[in-house]
Structure 1
Amino acid sequence: MKYTFLGHACFKIDTGNERLLFDPFLTGNSQAAVKADKVRCEYILLSHAHGDHFGDANEIALRTGALVVAIPEVISLFSDSVSNFQPMNLGGQFKADFGTVKMVQAWHSCGAAGGIPCGFIIKFNEGPTVYYSGDTALFGDMKLFGELFDIDYAIMPIGDNYTMGPEDALLAAEFLKAKHVIPLHYNTWPVIAQNAEDFKKAAAAKGIDVIIVKPGETIEL
Structure 2
Amino acid sequence: MELTWHGHSTWHVTVDDTTMLIDPFFDNPKTSLDASDVPAPDYVLLTHGHADHVADVAEFPDATVVGTPELVGWVTDEHGMEDTIGMNLGGTVECGDAYVTMHRADHSNGIATDYEYSAGMPAGYVISDTVPTQETDEESFAFYHAGDTGLMTEMRDVIGTYLEPDAAALPVGDHFTMGPTQAGIATDWLDVDHVFPMHYDTFPPIEVEIDQFEREVRATGSDAEVYVLDGDESFAFERPYAEK
Q: Which TM-score band (shorter chain)? A: over 0.9
Say if 2:179 is the partner of 1:174.
no
Equivalent residue, structure 1, for 2:149:
136
State the 1:204 CA deviation: 3.3
Distance 1:170 1:199 in 2: 6
What amino acid does structure 2 have at the position aligned with 1:135?
D
Distance 2:85 2:141 in 1: 22
Decide whether the 8 Å contact of 2:103 with 2:123 is kept in 1.
yes
Superposed CA offset, 1:93-115 (max 9, x none)? 11232121111000001124332
SS in 1 for 2:148: coil
Decide whether the 8 Å contact of 2:146 with 2:169 is kept in 1.
yes
Aligned length: 217
Cα distance change, pair 36–7 in 1 and its aligned pair in 2 (3 A): same
Equivalent residue, structure 1, for 2:173:
159
Say if 2:124 is the partner of 1:119.
yes
State the 1:82 CA deviation: 1.1
What amino acid does structure 1 have at the position aligned with 2:74?
L
Decide whether the 8 Å contact of 2:109 with 2:122 is kept in 1.
yes
Superposed CA offset, 1:89-143 (max 9, x none)? 1111112321211110000011243321001111114852111110001111111
Give % identity: 33
Distance 1:19 1:99 in 2: 9
Cα distance change, pair 32–111 in 1 and its aligned pair in 2 (3 A): farther
Superposed CA offset, 1:17-66 (max 9, x none)? 1211000011x323233111122211100000101000100222x2xx11
Say if 2:86 is the partner of 1:70.
no
Aligned pairs (5 A) from 1:87-98: 87-98=86-97
Distance 2:90 2:217 in 1: 29
Equivalent residue, structure 2, for 1:192:
206
Distance 1:179 1:41 in 2: 27
Distance 1:122 1:154 in 2: 10
Q: Which moved more, 1:202-211 or 1:115-124?
A: 202-211
Distance 1:80 1:20 in 2: 19
> Which residue of 202, 218, 221 maps to 2:234?
218
Decide whether the 8 Å contact of 2:15 with 2:98 is kept in 1.
no
State the 1:216 CA deviation: 1.4
Distance 1:52 1:103 in 2: 20
Equivalent residue, structure 2, for 1:203:
217
SS in 2 for 1:154: strand
Distance 2:149 2:30 in 1: 21
Q: Which moved more, 1:79-88 or 1:175-184?
A: 79-88
Q: Tell me, which stretches of 5 or more residues in structure 2 are unaligned?
A: 112-116, 131-138, 238-244
Distance 1:42 1:107 in 2: 28
Equivalent residue, structure 2, for 1:43:
43
Decide whether the 8 Å contact of 2:42 with 2:64 is kept in 1.
yes
Decide whether the 8 Å contact of 1:7 with 1:33 is kept in 2.
no
TM-score by length of 2: 0.84
Distance 1:52 1:194 in 2: 18
TM-score by length of 1: 0.92
Distance 2:153 2:204 in 1: 29
Distance 2:144 2:79 in 1: 31
What amino acid does structure 2 have at the position aligned with 1:102?
T
Distance 1:180 1:141 in 2: 19
